Structure 1
Amino acid sequence: MAPVQPNIIFIMADDHASKAIGCYGANINSTPNLDRIANDGMRFDHCYVTNSICTPSRASILTGTYNHVNGVVTLDSKINKHLPNVAKHLRTGGYQTAMIGKWHLGEGTDHEPSGFDFWSVVPGQGDYFDPVMIEMGQRKVFPGYATDVITDQSIDWISNRQKDKPFFLMCHHKAPHRSWECDPKHRHLYQENVKVPETFDDDYKTRALAAAQAKMKVSTDLTYHDLGLVQPDGGSEVGELLVPNRPAFNQRKVPYLENVTQIRLIDKDSGEVFTFKSQDELQYFKYQRYMKRYLRTIASIDDNVGRMLNYIDSEGLAENTVIIYTSDQGFFLGDHGWFDKRFMYEESFQMPFMIRYPGMIKPGTVCKDIVCNVDFAATFLDLAGLPVPSYMQGRSFASLLQGTTPEDWSQVAYHRYWMHRDTIHDARAHYGVRNQQYKLIYWYNKGFGLPGCQDGGEETEWELFDCDKDSLELVNIANDGQYAEILSQMKAELDHKMVEIGDEPEHYLIPERM
């Protein structure tokens, strides 16, 4: 008798850092329901994204291919709905399929979700309150808070499914994406100050120029809207800077005036007034406002994951249902002084990944092997007992779920960030590889006109980190002669990976790849 195909529920948040989940041990917030998945199943400590930005990550998850193959390389890219994807394979293999929540792979008939029996998605980034959703091509307004609405729709779809078929549900939350607007019932949470990261005051002196020049700093680059503050009149006269080319974030940045005593900030909900005696006091105020808004938004994610788990348990579906929780990438929570993502540094590069499947996974287990989001699709198909198509570049890690690491398992993750002209965050284009001990990053900085650049404004830099000795990635050892052999080996590893997946390197004419 053929094994029963499991149901698969894939819950993905947007910008949820691993350290903001209790089971990952940072102790900055409480997530009892997310922790249930890890406690009942497996937590992955080395799950990595192939491109640390929303749209490309989602494309790799759906197709099982790297971004140079699926064509979705930046936030402005749109997926071709005629491409094969995991939902299409599962539906052909007997599954009912649904996509509910954040899509962010383009709108219109050429880019809408395909391979799904039902879909209801937010346009663009979506709204936190009373969200508009496009349901099977029709726009509808759903009263309520977005995380509740997406969960309501997901549970409703499961309730009304065809009961004699297995199902595949992609439940994609908008939260906790910027601008971190929490459900009002959670505004009272996290009154005590959040622990400040060790690297918050990073000066970037040992790293690539790209790290120092990124416009993602908590101290200078958050807006009034980000921090839940009233925006006063005055503009540049009161020291504000406009965020360029981003209508959704077209609020001015909170000033960082030389004379900090001139600044009065006002809470938009309570009217409380904040004044400051020093620059340090101001920047730590911004950090606490940012973190508390972020963590309060996650509280609703945790509540709603609990609702989903309780529903599955109450319906007697738990034993034969795979439940996954992840994020489309990591996120900087003040680490190195940053918010946002994009970079290959660990806080942005690492994705949280927890999975519960009682029929296969021993409770409370932890996997230290390296997996990537490009592996998800192949794993879903393998768990469903369906063949993995030859075009998929990812590999099923189903054996890892059972505690067995194949001898030929590749302990290497590849990352490439393609947004060469990111004028908002000034995050430079780069690619690289990470194995269990070392990480190599190549900054090719295409077209930025950096100091010292020649002929077209290009400068390249290498970074190498020993992730065992320097887990915070504070010391670039690429130019340390003691690591010359390691650097050479990692460059060879990078070359091998690019050949394997068919990606094209940028500057092969540079002598000795340096």
Structure 2
Amino acid sequence: MTSIGKGMLPVLLLMGLMNVGAGQAQSQSPPQNVIFILSDDHRYDYIGFHPESPDFLKTPGMDRMAEEGAHLANAFVTTSLCSPSRASILTGQYPFRHGVVDNNNVMPEGTPLFSEALQEAGYQTGYFGKWHIGHAHDDPQPGFDRWVSFRGQGVYYDPTLNIDGERRQVEGYITDLLTDYTLEWLEEVDRDQPFFAYLSHKAVHAEFEPAERHEGMYEEAQIPTPQSMKNIESNYEGKPDWVREQRYSWHGVEHMYHGRADHPQGIDEIIPRYSESLMGVDESISRVLDYLREQGLAENTLVIYMGDNGFMLGEHGLIDKRQAYEESMRVPMLAWSPGFIEAGSTIGENVLNIDITPTILDLAGGSMPSGHTVDGQSFLPLLGGKTVDDWRETFVYQYFWEHAFPHTPTTYAIRGDRYKYIYYHGVWDTNELYDLQEDPREMHNLIDVPAQQERVQRMRNEMFEIFEASGATDVKFRRPGGFQADERKLH
């Protein structure tokens, strides 16, 4: 094992090493076309085939994608929040580098996106769905020939869409509509040129509204209650104070969304609605795969599915995301490309949202502009069944405190294959260390265990060396979201 804290290597190599194969190499060359499907707030284990999935959940589309392709079983985001994660996907960079550190910051003008590099490589490109990077705008973005989006979080029914710069209200359910627009565009593209489609769903973001055909399908389901949700002393022994206090806040199970009538109330309501809303996304995946098969495009197209971040569903008394706990930072990821990806394979390497840009550009033969640092690395060889000797076994995570949601502190973390260290900045509270092999639900904080002190110090130093080497510790003061320049009034 190589120490990632030594030598101040470029961040691309500072993420550590892992040597886990992904099955036997396939004979076919990588496909040309790419469809990237992104969902919102879909956690890693809410997929029907997953061994930790609740018994009631059925996701035939995702199950099929795994059966015919690959399950990337250890996929994560480097910040578990919509705007930072989405910007990282498009740039291949950590949030501290691209500057979108929360949901209020827009990407600096001129920031290169991989869509622009795809166009330069001869690709036809289309964007369909939620943008939500920074403020609530929906204007067409660089690098996309076709643009269909909406402002902010949008709505589930009868949305107002920005279609190539013109807004109009469209009747229907948003998940279905975005899939329709994607497939219609695929009918229009020149089949003699490669294409890239970015299908970015609103689902399954709160306030969870399923399609009418899925309404109530899980209302009789037996809802799992996490052991760590129980309000007992043993569950909070060794935990930071902010975790227990957040239980009674906007993002806590005792007072979720402050009891607002337009939000689900209680885990027994939130989980069925969340799961029903996911069904539209699952059907969207099936429609895309069916279309590719029917049009003879399956052998020449790579489809990647992932969530933009995870979602807590009662663990440690919390809901939503932002935290460095597994349910928050870990996401589902599937890849499908018949003939290139071995059917039914599982890829065990740690794959991150910052890896999407280099992977797609690796396939397309494109590159980001000179001077643009890419923090991720291509996992295309892993999809093709190759072993990558210098793959990461360790990575870092950051979440920056938000004025609108002050309950969660600024969080730094470093996660290896077995241990995770979490450091809270700016609060007088307890840090955390977990043995993920023995304690996958992160119930027992080892931060004060004498036998773990050497590891605590080593992981803490390693984490800060990574951040310092890449300029991540140069924290800038930001105006809190909601404050206007001409009035110090919070809206």
TM-score normalized by structure 2?
Answer: 0.84
1:85 alignment counterpart: 113
Match of 1:441 in 2: 422
Q: Percent identity?
A: 34
Counterparts of 2:156 and 2:466 in 1: how far apart (Å)? Answer: 40
Question: How many pairs align?
Answer: 436
Q: Distance in 2 between matches of 1:361 and 1:505?
A: 41
- Specify every segment of 5 or more residues in structure 1 that has no aligned partner in the other structure, as ranges: 229-253, 255-285, 447-457, 507-514
Q: Given the alignment of the two structures, is residue 155 of structure 1 paired with residue 183 of structure 2, yes or no?
A: yes
Paired position in structure 1 for 2:38: 12
Alignment of 1:50-199 (within 5 A): 50-106=78-134, 112-190=140-218, 191-199=220-228
- Partners of 1:393 and 1:501 within 8 A in 2: no
| Structure 1 residue aligned with 2:8 | none
Given that 1:81 and 1:114 are in contact with CA atoms closer than 8 Å, whether structure 2 keeps it comes out as no
| Paired residue secondary structure (1:400) | helix
- The SS at the match of 1:59 is helix
Question: 2:66 & 2:105 partners in 1: Cα distance?
Answer: 33
Residues 31, 337 of structure 2: 8 Å contact kept: no
State the 1:153 CA deviation: 0.6
- Match for 2:236: what amino acid? Y
Q: CA deviation at 1:335?
A: 1.9
Residues 467 and 3 of structure 1, relative CA distance in 2, 3 Å threshold: closer
Distance 2:144 2:216 in 1: 39
**1:398 corresponding residue in structure 2:** 380
Q: 1:400 to 1:502 in 2, by over 3 A?
A: farther
Task: Report the CA distance between 1:42 and its aligned residue.
Answer: 1.0
Matched, 1:471 2:440: yes
Give the equivalent residue in structure 2 for 1:335: 315
Q: 1:106 to 1:137 in 2, by over 3 A?
A: farther
- Name the SS for the 1:24 alignment partner: coil
How much does 1:195 deviate? 2.1
Other structure's SS at 2:236 match: coil
Whole-Å separation in 1 of the counterparts to 2:468 and 2:359: 23
TM-score (ref. length: structure 1): 0.81
Distance 1:411 1:501 in 2: 18
Given candidates 297, 321, 324, the residue that maps to 1:317 is 297
Across the aligned residues of Structure 1 and Structure 2, the Cα RMSD in angstroms comes to: 2.1
CA contact under 8 A between 1:333 and 1:339: conserved in structure 2?
Answer: yes
Measure, in 2, the Cα distance between the counterparts of 1:84 and 1:54.
19
Gap change, CA 1:5 and 1:291, over 3 Å in 2 = closer
Question: Using a 3 Å threshold, how does the CA distance of structure 1 residues 74 and 505 change in structure 2: closer, same or farther?
Answer: same
Change in CA separation of 1:500 and 1:372 when aligned onto 2, cut-off 3 Å: farther
Point out which structure has higher relative CO (alpha carbons under 8 A, 6+ apart).
2
Q: Give a deviation string over 1:446-489, Cα, whole Å, max 9, x none.
A: 3xxxxxxxxxxx42542111111111101111111110111122
- Offset from partner CA, 1:255-312 (integer Å, 9 cap, x none): xxxxxxxxxxxxxxxxxxxxxxxxxxxxxxx211111111111111111211111111
Q: 2-side partners of 1:39 and 1:505: how far apart?
A: 45
Aligned to 1:484, the other structure's residue is in SS state helix
Structure 2 matches for 1:345-384, cutoff 5 A? 345-384=325-364
* Distance in 1 between residues matched to 2:367 and 2:152, nearest whole Å: 33
Distance 1:187 1:109, change over 3 A: closer
Provide closer, same or farther for how the CA distance between residues 109 and 217 of structure 1 changes in structure 2, counting only shifts above 3 A.
Answer: closer
Name the aligned partner's letter for residue 133 of structure 2. L
